Chains A and B, each alone.
Chain A
Amino acid sequence: MSDHHVSFKDLPAGGEKFEPAKASKLIGLFGALGGLGILGSLYFFLNSATRPAFSYSWLFAIFFCFTFVCGGCFWILLHNASNSSWGVVIRRLFENLGVLAIPLGLLAAPLLFKPVNEHLYEWMNHHRTAAAHAAEHHTTVAEALHHMSLENPHLHPLVEKFGYLNNSTWFSWTTRFVAYFGILGFIAFTLRNKFLCQEKDGAIKHTIRARQFACITLFPFALTVTFAAVDWLMGLDYLWFSTMWGVYIFAGCAWSSMALMLLLVSYLRGLGYLQKVVTMEHYHLMGKLLFAFTVFWAYIAFSQYFLIWYANIPEETRFYFIRNTEGWRWVSIFIVIGHFIAPFVVLLSQPRKKNPKVICAIALWVILMHLVDIYWNVVPERAPSLGVDSVLVPNAWVGDIVALCAVAGTLGYLYLRSLGANSLYAWRDPRLIESINVKN
């Protein structure tokens, strides 16, 4: 570690521009995976025999990528709102991650259509029946649902939560679906634009404006993550609920996107970029944040499990009941060890956090465990919901991989391509020099 103070003179004017040609191998790989994945997905979607199981695969893949987009937005919001400096050199990479909200929204669109979501969300089917009744008897959907619940008391909760869980008012599942991507995209685009303007005119006011904007949008962001998690995952079983759910999903978002950033920064440095601006101190800081969110996730996940386990109320325990049955039990135990204990122990040591090779291996592991976590949240619902007489739907894992390749491959391709459009870091940010010379 040299004590040399890097000043503006030492940096290339105009920042560093990423040339996609240098990364053509990785871009090509992502492009190929994405293209083949989309072709495969089309097959699975269009084939009515595979569509039910594949709907879950698609939701899993979309939600997995969604957590990274949320994480990207979170880190830029936090960075700006807390007036911090260390992350200036990597903030642009997070900004570009958040901007992916729009292509992700397009990829997520299949979930809006009946042939897909009828397999995912049981409540929608009841609502559709109610809507048919309503059309027949010239009443409202809510009233029709109420009539249905008189015959089938299981539907009573759906009447109770009609104001939120519906597809027939202005505040519907579909409206919110669009809004989530819109909000995330708006946040990321606005913040990135402010700093792009700054690169043109050098005015500091953009930094101040970005801070104000971030403070104001933190709360809407929190609501976005929470309700997206409620709508897409909690809604898989309309009886289940947990107040902690949004926080739990958020913890995973922040954790996994920080790991992705570690990998990305290392990859770019390997190509010769960011050599001067990103130091081992930044690795250490990112490692510490990764560690902090390892613990935070464990805290949230444990509290949620623990309170439901202790109180033992049937409508709540069903979530863990499914995930403690047969093979899923081992996945649950694996998550405890792999998602918390292993990264916790490994990240305790400071030298390991400062060693790019080691921290990259950990980051890769973190992303893998996050994948397992999201899988464990989405997929155990599949077999019971589709009426399969086993905890797993046979051969459905092929679809899971195809969907993941399609969504993650496409987004990865778009992400790497988009990096070339601007400098890799905000080269005229007034905190840039402070960030480069950070010591901790």
Chain B
Amino acid sequence: MAATESASHQDSGAYTALDREPLVLNNRSFSWITNRICGIVENKQPFGWWVLFIPSVILTGIMAFCFVYLIATGVGVWGQKQPVDWAWDITNFVFWIGIGHAGTLISAILFLTRQRWRTSVNRAAEAMTIFAVMCAGLFPAFHVGRVWMVWFLAPIPNANAIWQNFKSPLLWDVFAVSTYFTVSAIFWYLGLVPDLATLRDRCKPGIRKMMYGIFSLGWRGANRHWSHYETAYMLLAALSTPLVLSVHSVVSFDFATSVVPGWHATIFPPYFVAGAIFGGFAMVLTLMIPVRSIYGLHDLITPKHIDNMAKIILLTGTIVGYAYSMEFFMAYYGANPFELQTFKLRGLYGPSTWYYYAMFGCNVFAPQIFWIKKMRTNLIAVMIVCMFVNAGMWYERYVIIVTTLERHLTPGSWRVFHATWVDITTFIGTFGFFMMNFLLFLRFLPVIAIGEVKGVTPAADPHAGESHEHGVQEDDAMGYETPASTYPGGVKPAATAA
């Protein structure tokens, strides 16, 4: 063995490969992976799970109470008054729907771009998407005021044969969000099927086995199944990619199609999408870092994964910064006095400038710390930045929606928005609802895509051991000394004359 190795070194002496970091550490075997992930579902939940679950259920109850109170009393229990008709509810709607986007990005776009590291986090991120969209959907539904009339949103003519206005961005929203929810659910479920079969095969006969049996659809992993399945999965990824772009674009159309200064900007669609991915990744990390340590998944969600996601946060945070700057620049360059005034009120001397600074600081400046590699692998630093981003993305929507309406075109009716206790508790309640769903997901479904993560282990590589190139690990690359034999003539050139 040693002899062949040294021989191959000489053959390719002039060449040194830079090795990829492994995505599953410690050379874990297939059955180790199965046991570890299925174990989460099969064993008793750790103490930490209950510590999070019970408050989440309580918060969900509070949220339900708030909505019942709202139905019983009227939307007036929220703080909106003319001219601020869209306030926390729409802010929360955009916030939650944005959170969902990272899930689709990870599952679809990273799949299409062959980013193999996605396998460790895509399942949880997709689940997050679905729960976030559920939270998002609540707000516009109750915002309509008479929630029992919410079926008016569906494309069915009402009693007077009046149809929905298909030219309205609000109706596009209905289509976009419901399509998004449906397609995400299908994508998530299809991905789950083989793993549900694994769980089924491990269960003892009983109600659990029956449920897993039903939901795994009788999957038996035949070669023909996989062939169609992989095509279907690829197709769904290809469909979800434009879908995810369209959803937040349509949400941005709610604002950008109007002639309200501060809302009408052509850059809104990609700017909203980038912001959504940015905020969503922060939420993925917020969820996955605790999951990783509670369930001991350090070999599957490695520092490399966290590092990658931190880099995406840095990138998208900078894109968002570009969009903020572009908006400001065009408000100036466009020389429209109303537009410019809106931005001055947002950022310089309006009643809510505080929100603008919070938005800019949390979204653009906080992630810049990720330029330092140590910060990207330091879990505490990553968590802190993610918290900043979670908050910052909420502020961003608040700035766009509320501070714009507070100072609209008619100064006579200007009014500063004040949130009521119902606004605040409803929003906090949705976090409970979101967490409750996520914890139940951890309890009953495999949190990591077992079948997919096996595919990125070294054992699954059919070419493993075929490559004879001498490789260097990323961490040693900077100080790597090229062997002298590789220089022309076998002599290392004297240190370059400086």
Task: Enumerate chain A interface residues (CB-CB to B < 8 A).
Answer: 5, 7-9, 13, 156-157, 160-161, 163-165, 201-205, 207-208, 215, 218-219, 222-223, 226, 230, 241-247, 288, 295, 299-300, 303-304, 306-308, 310-313, 315, 428, 430-434, 437, 440
- Give Cα A169 to B332, complex, Å: 18
Chain B residue at minimal CB-CB distance from A303: B269
B466-A243 in contact (CB<8A): no
Of the candidates A7, A204, A440, which one forms a contact with B16 in the assembled complex, judged by CB atoms under 8 Å apart?
Answer: A204
What are 10 A-B contacts with C-beta separation under 8 Å?
A5-B463, A156-B335, A165-B333, A218-B318, A243-B268, A299-B249, A307-B269, A311-B258, A315-B334, A430-B472
Counting CB contacts under 8 A, is B54 at the interface?
no
8 Å CB contact of A247 from B270, B332, B480: B270
State whether A307 touches B333 (Cβ < 8 A).
no
With A7-B468, A208-B477, A433-B17 as given contacts, are A303 and B335 in contact (CB-CB < 8 Å)? no
Q: Is the CB of A303 within 8 A of B336?
A: no
Question: What chain A residues lie within 8 Å of B467 (beta carbons)?
Answer: 5, 7, 433, 437
Return chain A residues, CB-CB under 8 Å to B486.
202
Partner of A161, one of B11, B333, B477: B333
* CA of A42 to CA of B112, assembled, Å: 49
B266 lies within 8 A of A161 (CB): no
Pick from A9, A157, A165, A307 the residue with the most CB of B within 10 Å. Answer: A307
Closest to B264 in A: A311
In contact, A203 and B257 (Cβ under 8 angstroms): no
Are A8 and B327 in contact, with the CB atoms below 8 A?
A: no
Query: How does the 8 Å CB contact mask read for B319-338 relative to A, with 1 for contact and 0 for none?
Result: 00011001101101111100
B12 interface residue (CB < 8 Å to A): yes
Q: Which residues of B contact A247 (CB under 8 A)?
A: 267, 270
B224 within 8 A of A: no
B249 x A303 contact (CB < 8 A): yes
Instruction: Knowing A7-B12, A164-B333, say if A431 contacts B322 (CB, 8 Å).
Output: no
Q: Which residues of A contact B336 (CB under 8 A)?
A: 315
Contact across chains for A8 and B257 when beta carbons are under 8 A apart: no
CA distance A241 to B333 in the complex (A): 7
Nearest residue (CB) in A for B11 is A9
Q: Specify which chain A residues have a CB less than 8 angstroms from the CB of B330 in the assembled complex.
A: 241-243
Q: Which residues of A contact B128 (CB under 8 A)?
A: none
- How many residue pairs bridge A and B at CB < 8 Å? 138
Cβ B269 vs Cβ A299 within 8 A: yes
* Chain B hits for A432, CB < 8 A: 15
Interface 0/1 of B358-394, CB less than 8 Å to A: 0000000000000100000000000000000000000
Check A243 against B326 for contact (C-beta < 8 Å): yes
User: For residue B242, which residues in chain A have a CB less than 8 angstroms away from its CB?
Assistant: 295, 299
Is B72 located at the chain interface by the 8 A CB criterion?
no
Enumerate the 6 nearest inter-chain pairs by beta-carbon distance, A residue then B residue, closest first: A430-B18, A243-B267, A157-B335, A244-B266, A160-B335, A8-B12
B114 at the interface (CB under 8 A from A): yes
Residues of A within 8 A of B335 (CB): 156-157, 160-161
B259 in the interface (beta carbon within 8 A)? yes
Other A-B contacts than A241-B330, A299-B245, 4 sampled, CB-CB below 8 A, are A160-B340, A202-B15, A243-B267, A310-B253
Determine whether B211 belongs to the interface, using a CB cutoff of 8 Å to chain A. Answer: no
Contact between B15 and A428, CB atoms less than 8 A apart:
yes
Q: B299 an interface residue at 8 Å Cβ cutoff?
A: no
Smallest distance from the beta carbon of A160 to chain B beta carbons, Å? 4
Is B256 close to A, CB under 8 A?
Answer: yes
Picked from A202, A312, A313, the residue with its CB within 8 Å of the CB of B482 is A202
B249–A243 CB distance below 8 A: no
CB-based nearest A residue for B496: A201
- CB within 8 A of B480: which of A203, A295, A304, A440? A203
Bound: A223/B480 CA distance, A: 35
- Shortest distance from the beta carbon of B152 to any chain A beta carbon, whole Å: 23
Given that A5-B463, A164-B333 are contacting pairs, would A207 and B477 also be in contact in the complex, using a CB cutoff of 8 Å?
yes
Q: Does B478 contact A (CB under 8 A)?
A: yes
